A = this chain, B = another copy of it.
């Protein structure tokens, strides 16, 4: 589409969030191309079985290259049937001798469902997953780089106990890593079909004693396995599982975006989106540097969430199929398109994210020793204090009320004295410096990152 014409589009995926590299899989042009390929896979299988003569096969393959989506649509305008229109466009280009081998024994959805399964699978392995691996690697690097950068951990938006920033990122290395594994599995398992009008091989069994074997041969030409049992259409579950996994990924990305968005709040300021020199933050407040990329990712998640609902509703189809998934089925590719756009944007922004260590340090220190409450309570308990949690809670309330600072209250408390006396040096160290209380954040960040680094290497081989 030329730049100018795309602004007549209604869907943002076509004028604003379009990814040219996905066009050959997700566009209507691409769908037609895949349907043509499925017709050719059929002819090739017929030829291999010596049913279709080689010359006829050649004619049909030649014809395939000449058919355009525009022509197919014009034919459909006449006959109101998309696949029959496609078949007509091929047939009119070949001799009468070759004509019968076009679409032989196939029903529309042998072609459409197979074409869709193939392009979903291809786009995942050719484009989507490599890009996702790239994001995973960026996060691995970030996680390793910031493995020791102390940061306050936050639960309920409240300061909890310290972690490191690399540890926080490693969570996403783990979650996205899991998505990579599951998406791969689901994409590998997506199935096609070539079982005819109601799935019982009625037509193909007129020609073959082993119509299921023939089905497998046709589908092999598309890089697919057949469904174990189908109707006019492929049972939706293999597809549902793939799209569910993509949607799970979209949620993980949205979660990462939310985390970063909030860390970029004016009062927190721990991270920052990379900002272009000429970029304008606000049309009216020239000082602002907004987390627009993270906001965009969160916003796209809402689109994907809605698209998932449509997809899920299509799991039900009456008898050997109703056709109430015809229009809706065309929107599944948008799930891929939007989520891919989220991945790309995340690569762009996470690989250059600004980490403000000074603010991290400052926020970590801001609650003073209150974050020592947990280790204090736990050490007290371990030393036999019978009501440690309540004791520490009361000390906190007194500190909060301004009586004195928390550490001083600890050391001046008579009840605590005997416990303090029995503490180990290591325990005393932690109680003197909140920064020491990051648990195994650094090691965990590194080990998670390294584990996925290796896994990714295996996957990519």
Contacts and interface: CB of A to CB of B under 8 A. Distances in A.
A211 interface: yes
A314 interface: yes
B285 A157 contact: no
Interface in A245-303: 247-248, 251-252, 254-255, 258-259, 261-268, 276, 278-292, 295-296, 298-303
A69 interface: yes
Contact of A248 (B6, B7, B237, B324): B237
Contacts of A228: 174, 178, 448, 451
Interface stretch (A126-134, A216-224, A347-355, A374-382): A374-382
B229 A174 contact: yes
Interface stretch (A57-65, A95-103, A409-417): A95-103
Interface in A396-422: 396, 400
Contact of A444 (B229, B252, B318, B448): B229
A437 to B, nearest CB: 6
A420 to B, nearest CB: 15
Contacts of A41: none
Interface residues of A, number: 200
Contact of A327 (B100, B167, B288, B303): B303
B235 A241 contact: no
Contact of A286 (B69, B164, B373): B373
Contacts of A145: none
A258 to B, nearest CB: 6
B106 A296 contact: no
A315 B251 contact: yes
Nearest to A337: B10
Most chain B beta-carbon contacts within 10 A, residue among A279, A285, A309: A285
A18 interface: yes
B211 A439 contact: yes
A233 B134 CA distance: 27
A13 interface: yes
A2 B71 CA distance: 14
Given A198-B160, A318-B262, A182 B241 contact: yes
A105 B378 CA distance: 6
A93 interface: no
A389 B320 contact: no
Nearest to A392: B286
A202 B439 contact: yes
Given A158-B289, A163-B320, A206-B382, A387 B99 contact: yes
Interface in A199-231: 199-207, 211-212, 227-231
B231 A171 contact: yes
A59 to B, nearest CB: 13
A444 B79 contact: no
Q: Which 8 A-B pairs have the closest CB atoms?
A: A153-B198, A11-B11, A306-B310, A200-B439, A202-B439, A286-B393, A81-B280, A174-B229
17 contacts: A7-B27, A10-B22, A10-B334, A12-B330, A107-B283, A155-B232, A160-B288, A162-B198, A202-B439, A206-B430, A228-B451, A244-B248, A283-B389, A285-B374, A286-B396, A301-B316, A305-B312
Given A202-B374, A300-B327, 4 more contacts: A3-B73, A104-B378, A285-B373, A302-B310
